[in-house]
Amino acid sequence: MAVRPFSYRGQGFSLRGEKGRFVLPPAFRKVVRDSSNDQRILCVAKHDRWDCLTGFGLSRMDELDEQLDREEERALRLDKDFDRDTRSAQLYGFMEVPFDDSGRFIMPDYLVGLGGLEEQVFFQGGGAFFTIWNPAKLMEMGDDWAAAKAACNAMMAETDKPKRGGK
């Protein structure tokens, strides 16, 4: 029986809470947990092209060698340099970050810096992975990101609304 691929879709938003914790959105939390053999382990790394972080579950490790092979084959076909060791270090250089049942996790300081994260983060589904953005960095992206920008703006506006019964 074929293994079902795990897919991250949709968006989410989190404010940095007490103790510097962010909250993994419920839809992503379930996929990460399912793809990590029911462990609450989020893998986080710097995205190789965009000014954001990327997240995924442990099952993605099974795909990384295949990705290396494809990238090396493409480079050879296009007569471009390819340093397999460097690319392997980039792909496998992710950090395993635990999260609790509510999705709360502490992002390591060096990843916060690499991602330019501040008090708000936006999560964007990307199929085999999802991205984690500082909303200001996302807004600098081109028109290809219009839908993600609109979702992010809507989610930020929701967090600015006073809570029902609040002041």
Domain boundaries, the chain: 11-159
Q: Which residues contact 52 (CB under 8 A, 6 or more apart)?
A: 115, 116, 131, 132, 133, 134, 137, 138
**pLDDT for 2:** 41
Calculate the dihedral angle through the C-alpha atoms of 14, 41, 37, 68, rounding to the nearest 10 degrees. Answer: 100
Alpha-carbon torsion 87, 52, 39, 9, what sign? Answer: negative
pLDDT at 165: 57
Sequence-distant (≥ 6) Cβ neighbours of residue 64 within 8 angstroms: 88, 91, 92
Q: So what's the pLDDT on residue 1?
A: 38
Distance CA 12, CA 61 (A): 24
What pTM was computed for the model?
0.86
What integer pLDDT is reported at residue 164 of this predicted model? 60
What H or E segment, with its residue span, contains residue 19? none
Residue 138 pLDDT:
98
- Residue ranges of the chain whose pLDDT lies below 50: 1-2
CATH superfamily membership of 11-159: Transcriptional regulator MraZ domain (3.40.1550.20)
* Bridge partner list, 55: 44, 130
CA-CA distance, 18 to 125, in Å (whole number)?
Answer: 25
pLDDT of residue 132: 98
Q: How many CB atoms lie within 10 A of CB 45?
A: 19
State the pLDDT at residue 5. Answer: 72
pLDDT at 163: 62
